């Protein structure tokens, strides 16, 4: 199983930015689609973004489209989620997850991802 480590969460004011990173210590992420999910208190975990394993095509939830960018850095073996123009409703615990050989053409589903990072808190507040 792929081991993932998430970093980059924190407290930011509305309109600010954060960059989350999802890293694998040994296995390459080249063959894995990486999905970002978030869960706010009292709400279901939802798919936020996904980057495909082969062609790096991407998916974004409507709520974050135009504000968030997902990307790979193969030299560092990481996947980043750049979050700009953050809103209070973006407050949640954010998770990354990996799925082998997946093409991200629609919203990532929890059941499709077998390897998960530990989650990191993102709080957007004045």
Predicted confidence at residue 28, as pLDDT, reads: 86
Comparing C-alpha atoms, which of 25, 44, 47, 18 is closest to residue 109?
47
Predicted confidence at residue 13, as pLDDT, reads: 98
Predicted confidence at residue 1, as pLDDT, reads: 75
pLDDT of 72 higher than 80: yes
Sign of CA dihedral 49, 51, 52, 58: positive
pLDDT tens digits along 80-96? 999 999 999 999 999 99
pLDDT tens digits along 19-67? 999 998 778 888 999 999 999 999 999 999 999 998 899 999 999 999 9
């Amino acid at each position: 199983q792929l081991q993932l480590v998430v970093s980059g969460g924190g407290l930011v004011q509305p309109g600010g930015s954060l960059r989350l990173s999802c890293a694998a210590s040994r296995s390459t992420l080249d063959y894995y689609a990486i999905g970002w999910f978030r869960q706010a208190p009292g709400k279901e975990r939802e798919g936020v973004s996904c980057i495909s394993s082969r062609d790096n095509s991407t998916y974004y939830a409507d709520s974050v489209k135009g504000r968030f960018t997902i990307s790979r850095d193969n030299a560092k073996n990481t996947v980043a989620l750049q979050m700009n123009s953050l809103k209070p409703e973006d407050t949640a615990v954010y998770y990354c997850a990996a799925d082998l050989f997946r093409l991200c053409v629609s919203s990532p589903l929890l059941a499709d991802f077998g390897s998960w990072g530990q989650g990191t808190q993102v709080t957007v507040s004045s």
